Structure 1
Amino acid sequence: MIGRAFLVLLWLDVQLQSLLGVAARINKTRIIAGGVAAGAALLFAAPTLLICLWRRSSPPVHFFDIPGEEEPEVHFGQLKKFSLRELQVATDNFSPKNILGRGGFGKVYKGRLAEGSLVAVKRLKEEHSQGGELQFQTELEMISLAVHRNLLKLIGFCMTPTERLLVYPYMANGSVASRLRAIECRDSQPPLGWPTRKHIALGAARGLAYLHEQCNPKIIHRDVKAANILLDEDFEPVVGDFGLAKLMHYRDTHVTTAVRGTIGHIAPEYLSTGVASDKTDVFGYGIMLLEILTGQRAFDLARLADDEDVMLLDWVKGLLRERRLEVLIDSDIQGNYVEEEVEQLIQVALLCTQVNGNERPKMSKVVGMLEGEGLAERWEEWQKEEMLQASNRQNQQNTYPFHPNSTSRILADELSGPR
C-alpha cells in the first residue's frame, strides 16, 4: 500500500515538472501559475485516488446473521417456529416415558413448553425428514390453512438439517381407539357412553368433509381410523394425522400409487390399484363407525380363536346375517343406547363401505345422514339395488357362502323391520 502511494506522488511530481518546463519555453509567468494550480488540484485528489485503489485491492466483506443456540421467536404465517432446544427441553430430550403414540410418520411425544402449556410433538422419521426446506414449508402452509373445529390445529414446527418436528395442542382424552380399548385405565377413564360416540361420529365426519370439500387443493387423509380421531378435554373429536397426507388438486383423479394406511381400513380399490381418493377416506370412515359401535379393532387375529372373521367389516356382516345385532354392540354400552340410532349408524357405515367407491356417499352427505337428512331414502335405494343383484347371484351365493354384499336381504329385515 505504501509503495502504491509513493508511485502516485512520484507521478504527480513528474507531471508538475513537465508543466514547469513547458511554462519556461512559452510563457513562464502565466504557465507557472496554471501549473501550480493543477498540481495543487492533483495533490488534493491524491487521498481519493488512494482510497479507490485500496478498495479495489481489498476483498469484499459480507455480513451474515448467525443464529445462536436460542433463536428468537420466528413465525411462519400463523405458525410458531420452535428451536430444537426448546422442544428437547419440553419433551425431556424426547424421553420414551413421554411417548403418546407411534404412527406411520414417526413418534408423538407429550411436552410442556416454557410458559407451561402442554403440547404434542410429532417427530418425523428420518426417511421423512430429508425433504427440501421449501417443500416442507409448503406442506406446513397447506396444513395451517386447514382450520376447523374438528381438525387438529398445527401450532408450530421445528426445522433443522436433521430434524423435522410438528407441534400440536395436547389432547387431554387421547384417541378414540385408546378410550375404546384401554381396559386397564377404566378406573380413571370410564368407557365412552353412547351420546359421546354419536358426537364423535358426527364431528369426525364434519372434519373430513372440510378436508375434502373446503380445502383447495383438497386434502386426502388416507388413514382414517379411530386411532387418528383425538378427543380434547371436552370430548370434542378432532381429526389428526392429516397434515402429512398427500394433497390432491381437484382436477387430479388420484393422489399416489403408494398404498399407505392400516389393515382393515384400506378400501379395496386402493389396495388393488394404489389409487386413493376422497372415497377411500369414506371407506375408512365407515370402518371407524364400526369401531365406535363394536369397540373392536378393524383387524384382529384374536377373532380366529372363535372361528370368526379377522376383518371387522366381515365380522359385522356375519353377525347381521345371523341376526345377532346384540352381539355386535360394544359390551360397555349394552342397554345404554337407543336401538334406532344404532341401526342408523350401522346403515351409514355399510353405505360408506360399499365395494364400488363411486357408490359411496360424499362426506358432506354423510354429515347430512347423521343429522337425519336423506338416510332413509338412500338406504332404501341401496337395498333395492342390492336385492336385485342378490337375486341374480343366487346360484353364486350357494357356491360361495359369503359375498361382500350378501347381507342386503338380512339387513332389510334386521335394520328396517318392526321395532
Structure 2
Amino acid sequence: MDAPLEALIAAVVAFIFISLLFGFLALVCRKPQPKPQFLASRSLHSSAVAASAPFEESDTFDPALDRVSLAELAAATKNFSPESIIGDGTFGFVYKAQLPSGVLAAVKKLSSDAFSPQGLRQFRAEITTLGGLRHPNLARILGFCSSGRDRMLIYEYLEQGSLDSWLHDEEMNCSEPVLAWPVRVKIVKGVAAGLKFLHDECQPPVIHRDIKASNILLDGGFQARIADFGLARQVDGSRSHVSTQAAGTMGYMAPELRDGLMATAKADVYSFGVLMLEIASTRRPSWPVREDGGYEVSLVKWARKRIEEGSLREILDHRMEIGEGKVGEVEGFMAVAYKCTEESAKKRPSMREVVLLLDQLL
C-alpha cells in the first residue's frame, strides 16, 4: 500500500475516533433537562390539589363571599400570628380572620405534613367532601386558597369554639361556667344528627373517621357542628367499608381500626360513644383512668364497668348539678354510650338507631 493511501486511511480512522470520543463526552456531561410543568386546570378539584401549580388558585362555595388571595388571608390573620390561633386540626392550625368583605372566618393553614401524599389527600377530601355538604350540624366550608406549597381552607367562624376547649381548657374552665347537663345532651344529639346525615342521607355515604371533641365546633347557641373532614372517605354503593390504614385519634379509635381492619360507619359509632363518655365525665379518652387498685385502664373500659355496676354518678363530671328528676336521662344517656362502645362492630347500633334512642330517652 502506497504512502498517500495509508495516510488517508489513518486520517479517517482518527476522525472517526475523535468524533466518537466527543460524542461520548457530550452525552456524559449533558445537563439534565427539567421536567415540563403542567398547569392545573381551572376545575375545582384538580386546581386545588396540584402540588406544583405555579400560580395562585382560590375559589368560594358561598355566593356572598368573594375570592380571597393568600396576601389577604395573611393580612386577615396578622401574618398567621400565634395570637390569632383558635384551634388545631389534624394537619394544621386554625386562625381567626376577618376577611376584606367583613366576613368573620376560621382559616385552616395546612402544615408541612400536608405535602405528603396523606396530606394532599386530606386537602382534596376537605374540599370535595365538605364543600358540597349542607346540614345544620356540619361546619360549613366557605372556600379555599392554594398558592404554591401553601394551602388554606376557609370555614365559617363559630363563636363558642371547640368542644374540646369547653371540656378541657383550664383557663376557659376558670372564666366560663361549666357546661350544664342539658347543654351537654344538646351537643350529643347534634353530633348524632350530623353523623346520621353523613351515613344515611349522603349519596354516597361518608365515613368521618376522626370524631373527637376538638373536631366538634359550637355556635352561639351551643349547637354542635362536625368539622375537619381531612380523614373522611366516601363509600360507593357496592361496598359498606373503605379499604384503608388505621385512621383516627388514639382513645377514640375503634378496635377494628387499631387491628388494621376495614373502616365502616360502625367505627364512627364507636368514636361517638367515646365522645359521649368524654362529654359526661370531662375526662380525656387518650388519658388512662386510675382504678382503686392503682392500675390504669382506658376511659371506655373504666366507664363501661361503672355502667354495668350501676355506678353512673361516678362517671359524671362532679361540677355539674343534676337533680333527681334527671336520673332517667342519665341512665338513658349511659345506655346509648354503652351500646356504641361495644368491642364488636356488629353489636353497635347504626347512627339512625342512635338518633331514635336519644330522641326517646332524652
TM-score normalised by the chain length of structure 1: 0.66
Structure 1's unaligned 5+ residue stretches are 1-69, 376-419
**Distance in 2, Cα, partners of 1:259 & 1:220:** 13
CA distance in 2, matches of 1:163, 1:127: 11
Match of 2:196 among 205, 209, 213: 209
Unaligned runs of 5+ in 2: 1-54
Is structure 2 residue 74 aligned with structure 1 residue 92? Answer: no
Could you tell me which amino acid in structure 2 is paired with residue 183 of structure 1? E
Question: 2:355 maps to what in 1?
Answer: 367
Shift of 1:139: 5.3
Determine whether 1:282 maps to 2:269. yes
1:175 is aligned to 2:162: yes
Call closer, same or farther: CA 1:115–1:76 in 2, change over 3 Å: closer
Aligned runs of 1:91-170 on 2, under 5 Å?
Answer: 91-129=77-115, 140-170=127-157
Matched, 1:325 2:316: no
Q: Give the corresponding residue for 1:384.
A: none
- Alignment-derived partner of residue 236 in structure 1: 223
Residue 149 (structure 2) pairs with residue 185 (structure 1) = no
Structure 1 137/281 Cα, relative in aligned 2: closer, same or farther at 3 Å? closer
Which stretch of structure 1 is more off in the superposition, 286-295 or 112-121? 112-121
Q: Does 1:299 align with 2:286?
A: yes
User: Is 1:251 the equivalent of 2:238?
Assistant: yes
Asked if 2 retains the 8 angstrom alpha-carbon contact of 1:80 and 1:155, the reply is: no
Q: How far is the alpha carbon of 1:183 from its aligned partner?
A: 3.3
Is residue 341 of structure 1 aligned with residue 336 of structure 2?
no
Gap change, CA 1:339 and 1:77, over 3 Å in 2: closer
Q: Which has the higher helix share?
A: 1
3-state SS of paired residue (1:97): helix
The alpha-carbon deviation at position 320 of structure 1 amounts to: 3.4
Kindly state the Cα deviation for residue 129 of structure 1 after the two structures are TM-superposed. 4.2
Secondary structure of 1:155 counterpart? strand
Deviation (angstroms), 1:323: 4.1
Cα separation, 2, equivalents of 1:300 and 1:169: 31
* Secondary structure, aligned partner of 1:358: helix
Which residue pairs with 1:356 in the alignment?
344
1:307 positional shift: 2.3
363 and 133 in structure 1: CA distance in 2 versus 1, 3 angstrom threshold:
closer
The whole-number CA distance in structure 2 between the counterparts of 1:366 and 1:89 is 44
Q: Do the aligned partners of 1:73 and 1:80 also contact (CA within 8 Å) in 2?
A: no
Following TM superposition, by how much is the alpha carbon of 1:306 offset from its aligned partner in structure 2, in angstroms? 7.4
Deviation sequence 1:67-117 (CA, Å, 0-9, x none): xxx989854686864211111111111111222222322211121212333
- Measure the CA separation in 1 of the matches of 2:120 and 2:330: 48
Report the TM-score when normalising by structure 2.
0.76
* CA distance in structure 2 between the partners assigned to 1:316 and 1:162 by the alignment: 44
Deviates more, 1:147-156 or 1:207-216: 207-216
Alpha-carbon distance in 2 for matches of 1:227, 1:72? 29
Q: Give the distance between the partners of 2:283 and 2:349, measured in 1 at CA.
A: 24
Q: Is 2:342–2:348's contact at 8 Å kept on the other side of the alignment?
A: yes
Give the RMSD, CA atoms, in angstroms. Answer: 2.9
Rate the CA distance shift 1:319–1:167 in 2: closer, same or farther, 3 A: same
Residues 123, 230 of structure 2: 8 Å contact kept = no
SS of the equivalent of 1:273 reads coil
AA matched with 1:312 = L
Q: How many residues align?
A: 305
Percentage of pairs with the same residue: 39
Listed as ranges, the matches of 1:43-82 within 5 Å are: 75=60, 81-82=67-68
Letter in 1 for 2:305: G
Contact 1:129/1:164 (CA < 8 Å) preserved in 2?
no
Higher relative contact order (CA 8 A, sep 6+): 2
Give, in whole Å, the separation in 2 of the partners of 1:310 and 1:133.
36
Shift of 1:187: 4.6
1:318: Cα distance to partner? Answer: 2.9
